[in-house]
Amino acid sequence: MDFELSKEQEMIRREVRKFAKKEIQPLAAALDEKEEFSPELTKKMGEIGLFGMFVSEMYGGQAMDYLSYIIAVEEIARVDGSQAATIAAGNSLGIGPLYYFGNESQKKKYLPKLCAGEGLWGFGLTEPTAGSDAGGSKTTAVQDGDDWVINGSKIFITNAACSMTLGVTVQTVTGSRPSGKPEYTCFIVEPDTPGFKAVPMHKKMMWRSSNTAELYFDKVRVPGENMLGQKGDGFHQMLKTLDGGRLSIGAMGLGGAQGAYELALKYAKERRQFDQPISKFQAVAFKLADCAMEIECARNLLYKACWLRNQNKPFAKEAAMGKLYCSEAMGRVVDRAVQIHGGYGLMKEYDVERFYRDQKLLDIGEGTSEIQRLVISRHIGC
């Protein structure tokens, strides 16, 4: 087995780390405090090629492998979860469905701007009454001549209500299958479509400088050409999208754990008690050792899932495992990191406090930890 990254992947890690430290780190705490999405930072991330990394060059992408993209998300998350969320959702949930399921006309119309970081795209799946039960969607689309009329709402949709939003992909119910189960179809909806409203959500505990929205569809009429793929393909598209999205959420957990660990290690070496650095005390040293071990395990699991995806091998089980383990490993790491900081770890002046808050979304978004365990249990034959 070869655990070596390619020279290109090492370069991506180095350059994205440098960018995150220079451009994001100085602004992260202030943006979090003000709960402010930054178009300027987003465009800068686009300028260095962080959008459309796995997309073909013919649509404006970078044509890189999926692990390279995951490394980039990891390095952004090492500094700030909010900006990593913008990148992860912008690629896996925004660009991904258009690239993998869109027709040529749709790809040529939307992907170049999205891959250049000139705009963002939302993926409308979660609803007020349909979260873990994604099949419980109630948003409908009814055909009227050559058009479709959409009614319903979505919630907790990333990148869907900011000045850079170019549109959303929305999953709808378009009828019933012979089995009696709902038939799902996805449609493209642009921001200025009559009856469509996107409202930013505020007062979040975490990812406070990431854009999150509620979406409302009141007799929203879209042409038939806005259908993504074929009628009835929506559920399949959703599952495939979430498989890839889980890898990027895993990368956020991995990167966040790495960042929190490094903050704790630095603090432990500088903080002195009883005439020596607290890192010399076994109680602290063992916490740091456990952090280092879990991060190493998380990285190996997540990278294996990416390798499987790159090799066009089945990776759904490993994606669920990677997302679950990386998310929960970050939870354990940030808990130890705050404990090592003591009272200072509870203060906003210390970045570890923000890492502690940002972690919790990882246990919930892109399928809760409970849903990941359900997915894994089905793959192992339970």
Catalytic residue positions?
Answer: 366
Non-local CB neighbours of 10 within 8 Å, separated by 6+ positions: none
Query: Which uninterrupted H or E stretch holds 376?
Result: helix 369-379
Nearest to 92 by CA among 118, 72, 109: 72
Give the chain's radius of gyration (CA, Å): 21
Q: CA 52, CA 320: separation in Å to the nearest integer?
A: 23
Residue 309 Cα distances to 169, 236, 306, angstroms: 24, 17, 5
Query: Which uninterrupted H or E stretch holds 88?
Result: helix 81-88
Q: CA 111, CA 233: separation in Å to the nearest integer?
A: 21
Non-local CB neighbours of 381 within 8 Å, separated by 6+ positions: none
Q: CA 107, CA 175: separation in Å to the nearest integer?
A: 27
Residue 17 Cα distances to 75, 236, 303, angstroms: 5, 35, 18
* Residue where the block lists tokens 């055909």: 143
Q: CA 367, CA 245: separation in Å to the nearest integer?
A: 10
Residue 73 Cα distances to 84, 89, 108, 126, 281, angstroms: 6, 10, 25, 23, 34
Do residues 193 and 146 lie in contact, with contact meaning Cβ atoms separated by under 8 Å?
A: no
Beta-sheet strands, E only, within 224-348: 227-228, 272-273, 276-277
Nearest to 250 by CA among 324, 354, 308, 158: 324
